[in-house]
Amino acid sequence: MSAPKILVFSGSWREGSLNTKLATLAAKRLRAAGGEVRQISLGDYPLPLVDATGFSTTPQVAHDLHAVIDAHDGLYIASPEYNGGYAPALKNALDWASVAKGGPSASGLAGKVVALGGASPGERGAYRGMTQLRTSLELGFGALMVPEMVAIATAHKAFDDAGELVDARNNGFLDKQVARLIKLAALDI
């Protein structure tokens, strides 16, 4: 069986982003678990705010983003939490990719397996935002979701200088989630 192809990205691409740290570590663990992994920055896919005019005039960047997503079996997304929701820039990018794909609603990520992580300096580790993102990905995009979600609380203290998680429980959650993503992404769903 060939290695499952996993695309990894963060909903934040600012310098020092805690979610990019989590995405980078997830990419490393996914590779170690046998995945063929590519990590991208959504900052390399600059897009205007999406609306329905996008169906008639879709920017090339949206096609590029859809193509890179489509070339993978699974996604690992690390999402910041903003006011209890998830990052609007992330939603914008995913919506554009679905517009570029076309087709019926609830099919933007059909056939893809998605795992979610989130990192925040707060106590809940972006968990509230992830629950909303999860609902949208499942019901709106038609993705198959990995049950485990990794929420890194007090994330500004959660990583060491090598980018590894210092807390054993966080490490355990991430490993369990990564193993499940690899297993599910290898299936023909």
Ligand X SMILES: Cc1cc2nc3c(=O)[nH]c(=O)nc-3n(C[C@H](O)[C@H](O)[C@H](O)COP(=O)(O)O)c2cc1C
Residues that bind ligand X (CB under 6 A): 12, 14, 17-19, 80-84, 120-122, 124, 126
Identity of the residue, 71 or 166, whose beta carbon is nearer to ligand X in the bound complex: 166
Identity of the residue, 47 or 90, whose beta carbon is nearer to ligand X in the bound complex: 90
Please, what is the minimum distance in Å from the beta carbon of residue 120 to ligand X?
Answer: 3
Q: What single-letter DSSP state applies at residue 2?
A: P
Whose CA is closest to 110, among 138, 82, 91, 147? Answer: 138
Judge residue 149's burial from the number of C-beta atoms within 10 Å of its C-beta, 0-12 exposed, 13-18 middle, 19 or more buried. buried
Please, what is the minimum distance in Å from the beta carbon of residue 78 to ligand X?
Answer: 7
Please, what is the minimum distance in Å from the beta carbon of residue 101 to ligand X?
Answer: 26
Identity of the residue, 39 or 98, whose beta carbon is nearer to ligand X in the bound complex: 39
Beta strands in 87-169 (DSSP E): 113-119, 144-152
